[in-house]
Amino acid sequence: MSDFESEFEVKVWPKKLVQDVLKDFRQAGFTVKKVSDGIYKVTEDGELIMHAMKGQAEYLCRVRKGTFSY
């Protein structure tokens, strides 16, 4: 298992959920950067927390394990 697989999980999220989560990250003081059209990165102290890539109606999200309790 690679470091990526042990540190992150990948899920498909609806667009509205991603927009709400990015807004919550901003309000909590995380850095949310739009890298290019439809690609967002969330970092804390330079460390990647979440990466979201837009698809047709959903986002492919890579999230550091333990970030959310779902």
Q: Is residue 45 assigned to a domain?
A: yes
Neighbouring-strand partners of residue 34: 40
Number of domains making up the chain = 1
Domain hosting residue 7, numbered range: 3-64
> What's the CA gap between 30 and 44, in Å, rounded?
5
pLDDT score recorded for residue 66? 87
Among 70, 34, 68, CA closest to 54: 34
Q: Is residue 60 assigned to a domain?
A: yes
pLDDT score recorded for residue 36? 92
What is the reported pTM? 0.85
pLDDT score recorded for residue 70? 58
Name the stretches of the chain with pLDDT < 70: 1-5, 70
Strand bridging mode 31-36 / 39-44: antiparallel
